[in-house]
Amino acid sequence: MHTVNIRVTHHRADVAILEVFAFPDVKKALKDIHALRSVKECVIIQTCNRVEIFAAAEDVNLAYHDIVDYLMEDVISRMRARKAFEHADAECVPPELLTKHIVQFSAKLHDAMEVEYHTDALRHLLRLAAGIESMIVGEDQILGQVRHAYNLAKALGTVGPFFEKVFTKALHVGQVVRAKTNINKGAVSIGSAAVELAEQELGSLNGRVVLLIGAGEMGKLVAKSLAEHRLKAVLVANRTHEKAQRLAEELGGRAVPFEELESAIAESDLVITATSSPEAIITRELIGDREKGLVIIDVAIPRDVSEDVASVEGVRLFNIDGLRSLAERNRRAREKEIVKVERIIEREMGLLIKQLYRIDVEGIVRDLFKEAEMVRQRELGKAMRMLGNGIGDRERRIIDDLTRVIVNRLTSPIAENIRRAAEQGDQEAVKVAERLLRGA
């Protein structure tokens, strides 16, 4: 079994590409990809700045083409459904315009897409769990996101023995690097980076009115950073009002009914939005005309704020792309720790490869012992028939034990040599053993 990783992340993609590539229903995508003829196991890791597919397959090249075909068909169907192009408001979309737009966007998507196979794909997963592939290097949230993705796939039955070992190792590496290095010391998250950006734009958050839209995990990270500032007021809005109330209480703020967003925005100096809404919740109409300046930071994928909001006088609109300069500064500050993390990853990679190759040859080893046992039983039966009634039960047990010991001592070294060949990457030796045992 081998691994292919297909991803679109903040490294190559802007927020518009990430928005289109993100699955609106991860569970459905997992089941669909797992059902592809070439895919044996599958895990999807989707966050605000990455969509990653890890697939296990016998033929990773075939799996790659099957998955990309599925992805392009899925993206194009969603683009058609949403009429995601400049004439989206038209009731009747000219087919040639839609086709042109889809072709152009597909080309951008291919440019943004990254693909890695085999050990490169596995190493990337370990780096991801360790936090050094994140936009904010050293963030702790990604480890929980990897764990959630694996648990979801496991619950849906899209992982088996191969990815169980792979993701168990990835989660272990994530824990080890945080325990043995300072990669996450004083680490910031996307949420705290958004607050830092807001502080840069407003000069200071002291005495400001802040509206936080979204009370999920990202909203809680933003809230944690906001709590460090002396704000005039904190307003929290969420579609589930009870969640907004709980988060507002923690911040010493006030929960706002979702239906009152317009008045809450009008009252605010800063809006940070992080919901899981499939469509924009802040529009040009909702903003209206402003009498004072407003900073809006949208860290949601898909975006919560319509692009035309940026045209409102006095409004400064930012999204995930606006955090890149902060992310780069954070990376430079952690370069020494990244080197330490990479050493740990390489050591753990060696152990993982040994484990995985053992999975690949265990079937051969089982066949070896099975064939040997069949021969033993057949020849033992012949011998017992020839001896007839001339021996008792005690003698029969002694002969049975003797033949079993002989067979085990002959086959065990062969099994270990097959395993060792696999661990050392000697695929030719493994193939020879397989041909001898299975006649392939």
Helix (H, G, I), strand (E, B) or coil at 54: strand
- Annotation says 92 is catalytic: no
Query: In this structure, what token pair is assigned to residue 357?
Result: 């190759």
Query: In this structure, what token pair is assigned to residue 432?
Result: 């020879």
Residue 110's nearest CA partner among 30, 8, 29 is 8
Residue 121 near residue 3 (C-beta atoms within 8 A)? yes
Helix (H, G, I), strand (E, B) or coil at 87: coil
Question: Cα separation of 55 and 200, whole Å?
Answer: 41
Q: Which residue has the tokens 């909702």?
A: 286
Choose, from 6, 36, 44, 48, the residue flagged as catalytic.
48
Question: Cα separation of 335 and 288, whole Å?
Answer: 45
Question: Cα separation of 157 and 277, whole Å?
Answer: 27
Please give the helix or strand (H or E) that residue 280 lies within, else none.
none
Question: Cα separation of 436 and 440, whole Å?
Answer: 8
CA quadruple 188, 192, 196, 197: dihedral, nearest 10:
110
Residues annotated catalytic, as ranges:
48
